[in-house]
Structure 1
Amino acid sequence: MTLIKSISGIRGTIGGKQGENLTPIDAVAFAAAYGTYIKKQRNKENYRVVVGRDARISGAMIQELVMNTLVGLGIHVIDLGLSTTPTVEVAVPLEHADGGIILTASHNPKQWNALKLLDMNGEFLNAEAGQEILDLASSGEVVFAEVDDLGRITKNEAYIDIHIDEIIALPLVNTEAIKKANFRVVVDGVNSTGGIAVPLLLERLGVHPVKLYCEPTGHFPHNPEPLKEHLGDLMEKVLDENADFGIVVDPDVDRLAFIDEKGEMFGEEYTLVAVADYVLSRTPGNTVSNMSSSRALRDITNKHGGTYTASAVGEVNVVRMMKDTNAVIGGEGNGGVIYPDLHYGRDSLVGIALFLSHLAELNCTVSELRKTYPAYFSSKKKIQLTPELDVDAILSEMESRYASEEINTIDGVKIDFPEYWVHLRKSNTEPIIRIYCEAQSQEIADTIADTFIAEIQEVANR
């Protein structure tokens, strides 16, 4: 069982001992630290925080603990109930709130949960704010409100609809073309809130959704990370239904992947590439993705006359770089699309609407669209960490071994070879080392990744 406290938030497994897992006491302590941080930002009478959750089994329990802790600090809570991460991000500025909390562990299995923390713009907190909250959680400086000054909870379960309204109002979302295309699409909602939000969006766009695992029970029917090896049922359903394509999202709906009409992966990395191709064709400009993302986005950006920039891994780093470079589209190769005309956050719903617009205007199949992009193949693997491993020393050794190649160390170690690249980094959210590789065939990418895993294990065992 695990509890990970980092500048990205607090994430852990439910049950077990305080301080070693995400227990009720840990949830309260961290929510209290966040509420205290919020109150320190501005001196005012009324503070407001938006709270929403995915459909995890532990979600209702953790949400009640978090909300009532904020109430105890004198903070008013807008309770969105079952929601999505991007929906909460959209709601914060619309509610003129001081921040937001999403209760979700993203792609982690059902025993995990987490508190994702937002600022007053509905964006993830930066490293400095995250560290301040970690310090407050262990400082004993939290002061709760007197009885006459307690906050209150107000329910507002309309925000998924409001979020969809905001998407449909975007100039690049071509609702008319999408409706004319008469798409039939299978949706795998992994029994979380994507099963609520994605079909609603599709229906509003005139698309016929075929629901697969769309009951928000929190009992994930397969590993919730939207990777090829987890999506056999969706691939089969697309073929059985003779659908135009399939959609899968992770439990909090900020990662998006597609299955083509032949029941094959479109490619998780190519979600952002396809959406960027459409956006850049209408609004030329710059793009950003993280260091672990495909070279294909760089190629597409160059085609449209823009400039591509790579950031450190992590949504907050991508967003910062997007603002610095005035990027019109960006995100992460894990299926995370960030479209600033709506908000600065990974958003599967806006990604779906832009992808549908692109497909409808081109009047082609999903497999035909995929063939128009550079053919890169990625391998994403990981090594489980043990407490005795000195990960920084391992990565330093790998850097030294490949010093003759192009090396980037702003986030782990990325080694650029002429025909492929490898990125080695310690995860911020799980006790693992991630090994990302991209090459010109899947066999080569997998072989290179396995070679580096063996090399890391050899270094670790010396």
Structure 2
Amino acid sequence: MARLFGTDGVRGLANRDVTAELALDLAVGAAHVLALRGEFSKPRPRAIVGRDPRASGEFLSAAVAAGLASAGVDVIDVGVLPTPAVAFLTGTLGADLGVMISASHNPMQDNGIKFFDRNGYKLDDDVEDQIAAHMGENWERPVGARVGRISYDYEAVNAYVDAIVDTVTYSLEGLRVVVDCAHGAASHVGPLALERAGAEVIVIGNEPDGENINHEYGATAPRRMAAATVGHSAHVGVSFDGDADRCIASDEEGIIVDGDKIMGILALGAAEAGRLKDNVLVTTVMSNLGLRLAMEAHGVRTVNTAVGDRYVLEEMLRNGYNIGGEQSGHVLLTEFSTTGDGVLTALHLLSRLAEKRQKMSEVASVITQLPQVMINVPGVDKAAATTNSVVLEAVTAAEIALGDTGRVLLRPSGTEALVRVMVEAATQDEAESTARHLADVVKNNLALS
């Protein structure tokens, strides 16, 4: 039986896969696992509930609040806020758990539910499985004064904004910044934080209507932000996704600065200041080889994990590392946050720009990314991708031919019957030809009958 929880909470088509009934049952399960301690608690446990602007988030957050309150948990509804803000408030307000209703960068019709523990961290797999196991079971329902109460605090956002602005070392005064909010959860918070830090802000994608989240705006569609950066003669542009746990940037010429470059820039700044723990940057296997080469040239070691911010965070917490992330713009700064935070990332990126007194293109030029080509090969036995002798021999031969300035990664998809072939090389032509060759080898030797 498949797990209910995926790599980042429960996610799917809203009102079909992720229903009000499911949201209520999940909330009750979470209350029993994360909040209730035997007999009904006195005082009652508390939960923070937030959401992004999707239309379906309105009924799903209401269902979550109802489930928690029915289990005897007091609910503080903080309204539309970024995922990292909900994580922050869960920890700082002394709540027993936090709940975020969001499908992050997914299209509007999807939605999801993710939980945070009392410290603001995402849950381990075993805790998520405990929540799923409690769903639908018989339980003693509190009555009378023991039921939870629901209150609303739409001013809590200010504590979050103040906290992340206070982490910035250099004033952003004099910097003109284009901010693309993806019509999402950072539509108010993102510009507010950058303005409080001193930047002149030009905002796009900040008119959420419940239906336009991530549509042609945001971190998954950064070209509009890049064009606006050039059009407004801005020093830099930043773009968040729907729940603002990602940040993608643009330099003054409209060239995209992705998550690899952003975390590389931040890691080098921290290393210079003596703040990069063990001089290590944590990345995933999908990060560009050019990032690792640039870090090595500056005395910074990279440690790779599986794809997924939760695996990056696990590695960071296990060893005390303080900067890591993904190419997608999901950057983790564990000195200041328990989860990826797009607005926090933007603040620190711009602070580095202010410190260096250089153009964004100059600051980013320290990392030269190698051409990268990805080909998805469908209809194959993905489990055999790492064991088939013909495929393995072809990969080895390709890696020898590419040498130190290239690499090959064959990654079975976690959700589909396909294998992703990723090749990096010194030139685009070499990357493309090698990827096509390996894709053909995978297709010819692993095809499903």
Range of TM-score over shorter length: 0.7 to 0.9
> How do residues 84-233 of structure 1 correspond to structure 2 at under 5 angstroms?
84-137=82-135, 140-170=137-167, 173-176=168-171, 178-179=172-173, 182-218=174-210, 219-220=212-213, 222-223=215-216, 226-227=219-220, 230-233=221-224
Q: Which stretch shows the higher mean deviation, 22-31 or 214-223?
A: 214-223
Paired residue total:
435
CA offsets 1:41-72 (integer angstroms, 9 cap, x no match)? 68743211111111112111111111111011
3-state DSSP of counterpart to 2:32 = helix
Question: What amino acid is the match of 1:207?
Answer: A
Q: Give me the whole-angstrom Cα distance separating, in 1, the residues matched to 2:150 and 2:313.
A: 31
Q: CA deviation at 1:302?
A: 3.7
Give the unaligned 5+ runs of structure 2.
397-401
Match of 2:50 among 41, 49, 52: 52
Q: CA 1:441–1:272 in structure 2 vs 1: closer, same or farther (change >3 Å)? A: farther
Question: What amino acid is the match of 2:224?
Answer: D
Q: What RMSD, in angstroms, separates the aligned Cα atoms of the two structures?
A: 3.0
Q: CA deviation at 1:101?
A: 0.9
CA offsets 1:208-254 (integer angstroms, 9 cap, x no match)? 11111111223136356724xx3332232222211112111110011
> How do residues 309-388 of structure 1 correspond to structure 2 at under 5 angstroms?
309-379=303-373
**Aligned twin of 2:399:** none
Q: Give me the whole-angstrom Cα distance separating, in 2, the residues matched to 1:431 and 1:80.
A: 40
Match of 2:27 among 24, 28, 31: 31
Instruction: Say whether residues 1:11 and 2:11 are aligned partners.
Output: yes
Q: Give me the whole-angstrom Cα distance separating, in 1, the residues matched to 2:313 and 2:436.
A: 32
Q: CA deviation at 1:12?
A: 0.8
* Alignment check: 8 A CA contact 2:386 2:392 kept: no
Q: CA deviation at 1:396?
A: 4.2
Q: Give me the whole-angstrom Cα distance separating, in 1, the residues matched to 2:256 and 2:362.
A: 13
Question: What amino acid is the match of 2:362?
Answer: E
* Alignment check: 8 A CA contact 1:168 1:175 kept: no
* Alignment check: 8 A CA contact 2:380 2:418 kept: no
Instruction: Say whether residues 1:402 and 2:392 are aligned partners.
Output: yes
Q: Give me the whole-angstrom Cα distance separating, in 2, the residues matched to 1:85 and 1:339.
A: 15
Q: Give me the whole-angstrom Cα distance separating, in 2, the residues matched to 1:302 and 1:42.
A: 52
* Alignment check: 8 A CA contact 2:86 2:98 kept: yes
Q: CA deviation at 1:112?
A: 0.4
Instruction: Say whether residues 1:240 and 2:231 are aligned partners.
Output: yes
Give the unaligned 5+ runs of structure 1.
407-415
Question: What amino acid is the match of 1:11?
Answer: R
Q: CA 1:201–1:225 in structure 2 vs 1: closer, same or farther (change >3 Å)? A: closer
Q: Give me the whole-angstrom Cα distance separating, in 1, the residues matched to 2:20 and 2:106.
A: 19
* Alignment check: 8 A CA contact 2:267 2:276 kept: no
Q: TM-score, normalised by structure 1?
A: 0.84
- Percentage identity across paired residues of the two chains: 24
Q: CA deviation at 1:300?
A: 4.8
CA offsets 1:365-388 (integer angstroms, 9 cap, x no match)? 11222221133344456567xxxx
* Alignment check: 8 A CA contact 1:7 1:130 kept: no
Q: Looking at CA atoms only, which structure, 1 or 2, has the larger radius of gyration? A: 2
Q: CA deviation at 1:439?
A: 3.5
Q: Give me the whole-angstrom Cα distance separating, in 2, the residues matched to 1:75 and 1:256.
A: 34
Q: CA 1:221–1:116 in structure 2 vs 1: closer, same or farther (change >3 Å)? A: closer
